[in-house]
Structure 1
Amino acid sequence: MRDETCDVAVIGAGTAGLAAYRAATEEGARAVLIERGPGGTTCARVGCMPSKLLIAAAEAAHRAREADLFGIRIGSVSVDGPAVLERVRAERDRFVGKVLEGVDRFPEGDRLSGTARFLDSHSLAIGDAVRLRFRAAVVATGSSPAVPEPLRGLGDRLLTTDTLFEIPDLPRSLAVLGLGAVGIEIAQAMARLGVKVTAIDSGRTIAGLTEPDLLERAVAIFGGEFALLQDTRVEATRREGEGVRLSFTGKDGAGSSLEVERVLSAAGRPPNVGGLGLETTGVALDGDGMPEFDSRSLVCRGGPILIAGDADGWRPVLHEASRQGGIAGRNAAALAAGRSTEAPEPWPALAMVFTHPQAAAIGAPFETGAGDRIVAGADFGNQGRARAEGVNRGGIRLWAAPNGRLLGAEMLGPAVEHLAHIVSGALRDGLTAAALLDRPYYHPTIEEGLSSVLSEIVQKITDESRL
């Protein structure tokens, strides 16, 4: 085993790891990037991009079927499953290739391939070939799909996002377990592509929405496109014939079963921290083996180790992984040089779901009975631009402090990805509803729906001041 040294060791070449490596080197540190493969980032290979390609195909089929609304007669619509998946893979591979090209431009001496494990607080073994001594290390090992115990043993009839996009054709029927972002996106896309879908979740939330009225609307909207089973627990599964039989208990306590061709596990992505040898570093670990860390500086308690991106499980979305990687890289370089670290204020929470209609949650979560908040809402049902385009479903809920400072929002509707960015920026800048309302809102746009909610908050504050 040969010995090498560096200032900063970065474990993982995903979004967070790449950002950490760049930030550390920009600070003057000698950084080494370690990747066990396959590389290309979770987003590009198995996450954001292939799922959006599938959603785009599904939306094309859906819009064609719905063209009658506008007096456009298309006739029957057929879906070529192999062609859909071939395009998904081709475009996915292009995105991955761009990422890998960027990594290949890093100095060869700064890249190591193999599985890393800590030997102690200042050294790593990379496979059986290299012992790497470091002054600080960044754990950016990402996450992997969870497979609940009842689904294990199904072999190739079980799909995760790591395998879904590799299948040669669309299944005839699919059970999706989990109604978070991944589950609801894939369930709707598959249904619109002609797959018979049953979506199952043990809880009551959908697409991260918790505000009661929006959640009720989401159940009605998505439940109109595929079978939706909430408060339902899968007890067992078995291979049967050419498919899978699932046995489950519904919210009424009654048992039932369902046969499908394939099952997709969309039950979350736990961090990849097992097998890293973190117990040898002196870092404080919780009962699940996760390092205890400061969410602002990303420094772990008890050693010169930092953690970033999906590996820390805090906010597992790409824009947070990129920012966290930069913070961790700069702070790792500072620790290596004996300088003080930075602890910037976290961004407002921002989560989006790219269904149709889209969903988003921004800032402070909804709280039932929070008497110190001003809550306002709008319905897209009669909103001008939404009706013109035939996408008039869903609504907006926005909450603010008594002084009008915006706190958070949930949304379900058209163009929500853009509305959510507007609100997120306002939260970052500490704006009040009145300040955000005092901006131009062009007519006719979906953004006018947001302005109407802001007007309601301002009016409620005015009414309160008159009492």
Structure 2
Amino acid sequence: MREVRCDVAVIGAGTAGIAAHKAAREAGARAVLIEAGPGGTTCARVGCMPSKLLAVAGHAAHDARAAHRFGVRVPHVEIDGPAVLGRLRAERDRFVRLVFEGLEALPGEERLSGRARFLDGETLAVGDATRLRFRAAVVATGSSPSLPKPLEGLGTRVLTTDTVFEIPDLPASLAVLGGGPVGIEIAQAMARLGVAVSLFDVGHTLAGLSHPDLTRAAAEIFGAEIDLHLGTEVSGAEAEGDGVRLFFKGPDGAGSVRVERVLAAAGRPPNVTGLALGAAGLRLGEHGMPEFDARSLRCDGARVFIAGDANGLRPVLHEAARQGRIAGRNAAALAVSDAASAPEPWTALAMVFTRPGTAKVGASYDAEAGNARVTGAASFRDQGRARVEARNSGGLRIWADRRGVLLGAEMIGPDVEHLGHLLAFAIEDGLTAERLRDRPYYHPTLEEGFESALAEITRNCGAGG
């Protein structure tokens, strides 16, 4: 068996792993990147980029059908499913190719191919032919889609977020299991491309929203295009012809629906099975996950770090990359000393690229906060720019502490990806509602929608003082 030595071993060549490897190298460590395949990062291959490519096609079809609102008549909108998916894959493959080009530029001795497993706290087996001795390691093995038990045994009738973008044509009908960010993005895109979509979720919220006003708005908005079944459990499934019949139980009783395909979009658990983490001396908790510090990413005092989707904190790409950098730098430092930094987490920022879009920023909504928080509200229904563009739906909620210091927000509305960023920067800088309100807001822009929410917080903080 070939033996290789390094300072830092990075397991996984996705967003977090690539960032960790680069950070370790920049810190002067001899780092080795291990990839079991298929590679290309989750974002480029099966996540952010292909889902957005599907979404923009759906939005184009929707905009063409809705152009009559402006006196523009589009007599007929035709959806060419193979062409939609062909462009999606061509652009997706370009993004993946760019990732691979970056990896191929690495010296050969810094890359290993094969599935890694820990033999002890300083040794990895990579495949059957290589043993890698390390001083510190980073686990960045990503995640994989889960398949609900009722869908087992249905073969290609069931799609996952890893396979949905490989279908040759759009299905006539689709059931989406899961109303989180990925599920609702794909569900709306498919519906706008002419697919009859039913969405099932055991919860009562969509797109990760939690404020009651906004969850109701989301159900109303998305329910106009999608057959929603919230608070509903899919209890069984069986093949029927070339499709699937789903059986479900919900608030209105039991029922069933036949669809051509089913998309399982209810989550992506971390890829930690098979790593033999216990052999590295790690204390494992529920589902075989190691205990680790959420700031330094160090596992239970060992010389092992865990970053990206693998740690179950569900970071989106920008956070996964930052986690990789933190883990890589710390692993490099730990390879020669016992030092590890623990930077503060960034202000939380999550978005869903539906139309209207959604965003969550900073501290989550807390129904039990009571008088400790002050909330400001704004609606996009009558907001000037939103009405000009006939995108006047949804609203936002911003919360602050009793001093007016901004804590967090949720929103659903037009272009909220930009509003979300502005609020994230304001929260990161410790601004109060009053200070953020005293900024230049050009007219007419969607950013003016902040004004009423910030004014409400300012008034209520003053009244409470």
Give the TM bin, normalised by the shorter chain.
over 0.9
Equivalent-residue separation in structure 2 for 1:449 and 1:95 (angstroms): 35
Q: Which runs of 4+ in 1 moved over 3 A?
A: none
Within 5 Å, which residues of 2 pair with 1:68-467?
68-252=68-252, 254-371=253-370, 372-465=372-465
Bigger Cα displacement from structure 2, 129-138 vs 430-439: 430-439
SS at match of 1:263: strand
SS at match of 2:19: helix
Q: Deviations over 1:102-155 (max 9, x none)?
A: 111111110000100110110000000100000000000000001111111110
Kindly indicate whether the alpha-carbon contact (under 8 Å) linking 1:138 and 1:308 is maintained by their aligned counterparts in 2: yes
- The letter for the 2-side match of 1:20 is A
SS at match of 1:367: coil
- The letter for the 2-side match of 1:298 is L
Please name the residue that 2:67 is paired with.
67
Equivalent-residue separation in structure 1 for 2:286 and 2:439 (angstroms): 49
Bigger Cα displacement from structure 2, 49-58 vs 339-348: 339-348
Q: CA deviation at 1:238?
A: 0.9
Kindly indicate whether the alpha-carbon contact (under 8 Å) linking 1:159 and 1:262 is maintained by their aligned counterparts in 2: yes
Equivalent-residue separation in structure 1 for 2:169 and 2:404 (angstroms): 52
Please name the residue that 2:17 is paired with.
17
Equivalent-residue separation in structure 1 for 2:304 and 2:85 (angstroms): 41
- The letter for the 1-side match of 2:264 is S
Kindly indicate whether the alpha-carbon contact (under 8 Å) linking 1:284 and 1:302 is maintained by their aligned counterparts in 2: no
Equivalent-residue separation in structure 2 for 1:211 and 1:240 (angstroms): 39
Equivalent-residue separation in structure 2 for 1:395 and 1:420 (angstroms): 13
Q: CA deviation at 1:157?
A: 0.6
- The letter for the 1-side match of 2:227 is A
* Unaligned ranges ≥5, structure 1: none
Q: CA deviation at 1:284?
A: 1.1
Q: Deviations over 1:234-268 (max 9, x none)?
A: 1111111010011111123x221110000000010
- The letter for the 1-side match of 2:335 is A
SS at match of 1:288: helix
Equivalent-residue separation in structure 2 for 1:185 and 1:344 (angstroms): 32
Q: CA deviation at 1:464?
A: 2.5
Equivalent-residue separation in structure 1 for 2:278 and 2:179 (angstroms): 34
Q: CA deviation at 1:316?
A: 2.6
- The letter for the 2-side match of 1:243 is G
- The letter for the 2-side match of 1:197 is V
Equivalent-residue separation in structure 2 for 1:283 and 1:431 (angstroms): 41
Q: Deviations over 1:352-405 (max 9, x none)?
A: 111110011111111114221000100000000000001000001000000011
* Structure 2 residue 8 is matched with structure 1 residue 5: no
- The letter for the 2-side match of 1:323 is R
Please, what is the CA RMSD of the aligned residues? 0.8
Equivalent-residue separation in structure 2 for 1:451 and 1:4 (angstroms): 60
- The letter for the 1-side match of 2:339 is S
Q: CA deviation at 1:302?
A: 4.0
Kindly indicate whether the alpha-carbon contact (under 8 Å) linking 2:402 and 2:464 is maintained by their aligned counterparts in 1: no
Kindly indicate whether the alpha-carbon contact (under 8 Å) linking 1:282 and 1:302 is maintained by their aligned counterparts in 2: no
Q: CA deviation at 1:339?
A: 4.3
Q: Deviations over 1:310-354 (max 9, x none)?
A: 000113310110000000000000110114110000111111111
Equivalent-residue separation in structure 2 for 1:201 and 1:45 (angstroms): 25
Q: Deviations over 1:13-37 (max 9, x none)?
A: 0000000000000000000000011
Q: Aligned residue pairs: how many?
A: 464
SS at match of 1:103: helix
- The letter for the 1-side match of 2:332 is A
* Unaligned ranges ≥5, structure 2: none
Equivalent-residue separation in structure 1 for 2:18 and 2:316 (angstroms): 15
TM-score normalised by length of structure 1: 0.98
- The letter for the 1-side match of 2:225 is E
- The letter for the 1-side match of 2:49 is M
- The letter for the 2-side match of 1:21 is H
Equivalent-residue separation in structure 2 for 1:47 and 1:14 (angstroms): 12
Equivalent-residue separation in structure 1 for 2:419 and 2:382 (angstroms): 17
Equivalent-residue separation in structure 2 for 1:48 and 1:458 (angstroms): 37
SS at match of 2:286: coil
SS at match of 2:427: helix
TM-score normalised by length of structure 2: 0.99
Q: CA deviation at 1:460?
A: 1.6
Please name the residue that 2:55 is paired with.
55
